[in-house]
Amino acid sequence: MDRLRSHDEKAPPAGTKRELPDLESRTAPALRSLLSSVYGRRQEFAEGSQAAIALAEQLIREIDEALAKQGGDTEQDCSTKH
């Protein structure tokens, strides 16, 4: 019974509007931190992807040069084998 009485004492009178707590002040720093973390990870992924693409392009050029030194045209060689 004591719990019910204390609850009734804390509740506002019927028909009155209660003020809602300001959620932005509590959630904004957490959201900013999360967004900056996600942005940082996205940047790292993008930079890593660009580096991997550049490395793949360099390897393709080196393979093309090595094949050219052997005297064969790889596209022509592949098409005649099929």
d(CA 79, CA 73) in angstroms, rounded, equals 10
Residue 82 has pLDDT above 80, yes or no: no
Q: Where are the domains of the chain?
A: 37-68
Residue 22 has pLDDT above 60, yes or no: yes
Per residue in 24-74, pLDDT (tens digit) is 666 677 888 888 999 999 999 999 999 999 999 999 999 999 999 998 655
Both tokens of 39, joined, read 């942005």
Neighbours of 20 (CB within 10 A): 6
Which of the four pLDDT bands, split at 50, 70 and 90, describes residue 15? confident
Closest CA to 1 of 16, 30, 9, 69: 9
- How much is the pTM? 0.47
Among the residue ranges 2-6, 16-20, 41-45, the one predicted with the least confidence is 2-6
